[in-house]
Amino acid sequence: MPWIAVAGDADFAEVAERSRVPVLVDLGVTWCDPCRTVGPTLEQLATEHAGELKLVKVDVDTARRTAARFSVQSVPTLLVLAEGAVLARQSGAAPVACLRAWLDRALSGTGSESGAAQR
């Protein structure tokens, strides 16, 4: 699926920031239960927006520079990027309906960088 990718410190700029479509960035770790729980939800959202959104997964245990750059203090941390700029930020897992609404707000330009998905 070309709309789902994995990136690390070395290729984050190429994979995420230079994307021609907005990017949903999933900053997490493999051992985190909420990260594993939200993963299929994010893949579902990326599939729903195929061609107009790209999902990029980043393991913050191995991509420490990227995690520091975005001040990740808890996982999962989700970002919506457009042309490298953060449009919205969400910390923690949330139900699919909440994440869908958060993503739709971000993509429509009404998202908030520090806003969280409402539960």
Active-site residue (options: 7, 35, 58, 60): 35
> From CA 88, how far away is CA 79, in angstroms rounded?
6
Provide the b/e sequence for 35-74 (b: ≥16 CB within 10 Å). beebbebbbebbeebeeebbbbbbbbeebeebbeebebee
What pLDDT digit, counting tens, does each position of 27-50 carry?
A: 999 999 999 999 999 999 999 999
What pLDDT was estimated at residue 111? 55
- Catalytic, 98? Answer no
What pLDDT digit, counting tens, does each position of 55-110 carry?
A: 999 999 999 999 999 999 999 999 999 999 999 999 999 999 999 999 999 999 85
Q: What domains, with CATH codes, occur in the chain? A: 4-109 (3.40.30.10)
> From CA 54, how far away is CA 62, in angstroms rounded?
21
More confident residue, 60 or 2: 60
Active-site residue (options: 4, 5, 29, 32): 32
pTM of the model: 0.90
17: amino acid identity, one letter: E
- Catalytic, 32? Answer yes
Task: Yes or no: say if 13 and 63 are a contact pair by the CB < 8 Å rule.
Answer: no
